[in-house]
Structure formats: C-alpha cells, structure tokens
Amino acid sequence: MKNYSIAKSRRLRSTPYTSRIEKQGVTAYTVYNHMLLPAAFGSIEDSYHHLKKDVQVWDVAAERQVEISGKDSSKLVQLMTCRDLSKSKIGRCYYCPIIDDNGNLINDPVILKLAEDKWWISIADSDVIFFAKGLSAGNSLDVKILEPRVDIMAIQGPKSFNLMEKVFGKAIKELKFFGFDYFDYRGTKHLIARSGWSKQGGFEVYVENTESGQDLYDYLFEIGKEFNVKPGCPNLIERIESGLLSYGNDFDNNDNPFECGFEKYVNLDADISFLGKEKLKKIKKEGIKRKLMGVYIDTDKINLTKSLNIKDDRDNFIGDLRSACYSPHFKKVIGIAMINEPYCKASTSGLLEIEGNSFTVKVCDLPFI
C-alpha cells in the first residue's frame, strides 16, 4: 500500500491544535468539513489498545458547529431532523439524523440545545450550514446561521474521568452521558459534554476561547502522565468494533435512516414538521430493501479505500462493503456493509474479492461489541 502526501493549503483548514499534534507525531490526516483531522499517530492498532486502556486527547476541531439562533431557530432545527425535539432540554445533546426532501440522509450530527432559541449542530462531514441557509431563506425564517469559532478537543478512554477530575474537580464526573455544562479552567468557562467518537467513555470540550483551550491542551499532557495520556484521534478499529457509523463512509445522501438502523430517531407519529416526513412514512410502510449490517471477513488484513462488492456463490451482487479493518478482538477483518434483502440477516454468507483473491464474508448484526 503506497502512501500519498496530503497537499496542505488554506482550503484544508488547520486547527488551533495542528502545530501541537505535529510536534507530537501525527503521521496521517484525513479531511473533514474542509479541515485537517488527524487519522494516525503511527500504528492504529497500538493506538486502539492504548485508547481502550488509558486516555487520549484528540484534536477533533473538524467537528464544526452550525449555530442557529433567533425566534424561529427551534422551528428550523426541527425542520431538518426526523427526531422529535419538542421535549428537548437545555444542557442536553441529541443525536439527530438530518433528512432531505427525499427522506435521505444529509448528516448525522449531535445537536446541543444551548437555550430555547440557540442551538449548535455538531456536524459530520457535509456542509449542513448551506442546507440550513437554503431552508431558512426559502421559508423566510427569522434566524441567524453561522459557523462559530468552536474547536473541539476530546478526552477519550477509561482514564479520561480521572484525568478530567484532576482539572475540573468531582463535578465533571457527575455529568450524565450526552449532558453538557460549563466548567471553569483558570478563569475561563468551557462548555464540556460527556460525549465523543468512541465507546470508551470521555468528554468533548467545545473550545471557544482558543488561547485557554490551547493552554488546557498542554496542561492535560502535563498532569496526565500518571494516566499514561497520549495524543490520539478517532480510531478506525475502535469505531467499527463499536458500530459507530460514519457519514460518507458507511452511509451518505443515497441512503435513508431506516436502512442505517436509525429507527429510534425517526419520530413519524410526533406532531412535528420536518422535511421528508411523508417520504419516510412511505418507506416505512413499504419496508426497506437493504440494511447496514456487520460482516466478518475471513482474512487478517485489509486496506479499504472505496466500496467493494460482496457477491453470493452464483456471482449475484448482494451488497457493498463500506468500512473495514483488522480487529484484534475478533482476530479477523470486520466491516460495515450495505446488504440487500433477503441477504441482510445474521449468518448469511457471501464472497468478497480483493486483488484477485476471494474471501468468505459472514453477515452479522451491529454493533459487534
């Protein structure tokens, strides 16, 4: 597998932490919301083991915010998602599929309710801001839409709780999952949520005061030695094992929320208005024709850079593999695939061809762990 360089430019925006992670040994980047997102610090497998055991600090500034405020802000936010937000509370995060007019997915952000008339949509990799601007202009809504200067750093891993307690005191441990509050660091208030793109536990600091955030970043490494803190980034192996889906990888604007296992976030019976509602009712009634599933692949290495077709033993297409990695836990390759009816049920078998070699694929339910 040949490596290619990333050609940096202003268009692939740096973060306030970029110079730090480059000193700390980042080796690979991906691009996410037009921004650099670290993808590796050397071995992804070493980083996976460390993340499951200790604690990591991640530069995830590429999780940009779309801030929607003003009189009609709740109306606009609801219009964009099929999840019922009518009973949502200030201080809580909500995982919300964003849906277009066809009932297909545009993004799967976490939405933070900051006030009755102020929201942050913490987005996956697509320009939700322009969807919001188009919808708002088209509906003549009274809202203000902008990308605030917020650069998230995540603290993830089982020891994140003790590390964060050392900085912010006991109160931070009482934060409930998907709750957020403001915590003081040397005189600056930071919005901190108990959330993050791993299943190992942890926090996300929504840094608005850049200087204080950079100082906090350094401080976490200073005082974190006893917890074996290391720099890290969203980990391909950990996220696939945990079944954390990725917009653009596992699903995109050609897929609907039922195909992606998001049923519990689709509130068709609620008395709310959102785009694609009638389309989703129709899809639900007719039933889906394919579904995101897990797969075990009978090999011990893979480097997936695009979809690969999965076929049955008579060479019929049964689905496409969208993410994959070698799993140290299962000691084989696992992946996430969009599998057609009637094959999308656990224990179905298929075949995957990689560079001329054929491997057995076994379908399973998500998540793996």
* Binding positions for a copy of itself, rule: CB under 8 A: 2-14, 22, 26-31, 34, 39-40, 100-101, 106, 125-139, 147, 246-249, 253, 275, 303-307, 322-323
Kind and range of the H or E element at 190? Answer: strand 188-193
* Complex with a copy of itself: residue 291 or 322, whichever CB lies closer: 322
| Closest C-alpha to 17, from 182, 202, 150 | 150
Which residue, 188 or 242, has its beta carbon nearer to a copy of itself? 242
* Exposure string over 264-303, b if 16+ CB within 10 A, otherwise e: ebbbbebebebbbbebbeebbeeebebbbbbbbbebeebe
Minimum Å gap between C-beta 96 and a copy of itself is 16
Q: Which is nearer to a copy of itself, 228 or 253 (CB)?
A: 253
Both tokens of residue 173?
A: 């441990």
CB of 187 to a copy of itself, least distance (A): 27
Q: Please identify, using beta-carbon distances, which residue of 55 and 337 lies nearer to a copy of itself.
A: 337
Tokens of 75: 């109306």
Q: How far is the CB of 264 from a copy of itself (least distance, A)?
A: 24
Name the minimum Å distance from CB 189 to a copy of itself: 26
Residue 142 half-sphere exposure toward CB, CA atoms < 13 A: 4
d(CA 258, CA 82): 11
* 65 bridge partner residues: 122
Residue 98 Cβ vs a copy of itself, minimum distance, rounded to whole Å = 9
- Give the whole-angstrom CA distance, residue 84 versus residue 86: 6
Nearer Cβ to a copy of itself, position 147 or 312?
Answer: 147
Task: Tell me which amino acid residue 296 is.
Answer: Y
Instruction: Report the residue number, 12 or 272, with the smaller CB distance to a copy of itself.
Output: 12
Cα(52)–Cα(32) distance, integer angstroms: 24
Question: What backbone torsions phi and psi does residue 25 show, to the nearest 5 degrees?
Answer: 100, 25
Residue 224 vs 261, nearer CB to a copy of itself: 261
Residue 92 DSSP class? B
Count the Cβ atoms, other than its own, within 10 Å of residue 169: 12
- Minimum Å gap between C-beta 308 and a copy of itself is 9
**Distance of closest approach, residue 163 Cβ to a copy of itself, in angstroms:** 26
